[in-house]
Structure 1
């Protein structure tokens, strides 16, 4: 049984070696020309004017939750659509319930004002 996993193990070892080799080549052969601008932290193209410890508005978190909500929805819809014929009516109703729960989350986000930008 373990010999079925041997090609996967070889693939992982080769992938790690190729990745580590490429990084090592970059470190060894890459040019080293440090200067102040290059070594300064980069955030958004201009110098920071506030502390990095400032509080964020809750809308950023609501938008992140909204993104995760619909990202998961799409991730579950593709495999479900492929096997829908095998699942039958039961699978259809399970997905309707799942989508209804996601719609409740979307309505909550909408009511909280996460989709409105000032």
Structure 2
């Protein structure tokens, strides 16, 4: 029991000494020039980093992501056709596709899929 406590104490002492040595050796200046300078691909930026972008492009990107996630939900359903009841599988997938189709029609009627006005 005494040897276990001795080993634990010695290990703790060595760990604390190493932490103190690391703190002393790794002392860095608070006013480090490189940390406070802007970094953009290795060179200083010349213009503003906040450039305007097309809101139409952003909207089409969001629509693509929504339909991409829904495709990822449909793919396992195809593999699941063997394991499930065909009536329930057909009903669920038909209703899911119907909801997707209604969403597509709504986005089309609102003009969200047209790139130019």
State the TM-score, normalized to the length of structure 2.
0.51
Aligned with 2:82: secondary structure?
helix
Cα distance in 2 for residues equivalent to 1:40 and 1:112: 43
Pick closer, same or farther for the CA change 1:89–1:40 going to 2, 3 Å: farther
Match of 1:73 among 70, 75, 83: 70
User: Which protein, 1 or 2, shows the higher relative CO under an 8 Å CA cutoff with sep ≥ 6?
Assistant: 1
Q: Which has the higher helix share?
A: 1
Match of 1:96 among 94, 97, 114: 94
Is the Cα–Cα contact under 8 Å of residues 66 and 106 in structure 1 kept in the other structure?
no
Matched, 1:85 2:89: no
Match of 1:38 among 35, 39, 42: 42
Aligned with 2:61: secondary structure?
helix
Alignment RMSD = 2.9
State the TM-score, normalized to the length of structure 1.
0.50
Q: Any residues of structure 2 matched to 1:1-118 within 5 Å, and which?
A: 38-41=42-45, 52=50, 54=52, 56-57=54-55, 59-87=56-84, 88-118=86-116
Q: Deviation per CA, 1:42-65, whole angstroms, max 9, x where unpaired?
A: xxxxx76x77275753x3343133
Is the Cα–Cα contact under 8 Å of residues 62 and 114 in structure 1 kept in the other structure?
yes
Pick closer, same or farther for the CA change 1:97–1:39 going to 2, 3 Å: same
Provide the residue aligned with 1:29 in structure 2. none
Provide the residue aligned with 1:19 in structure 2. none
Pick closer, same or farther for the CA change 1:98–1:37 going to 2, 3 Å: closer
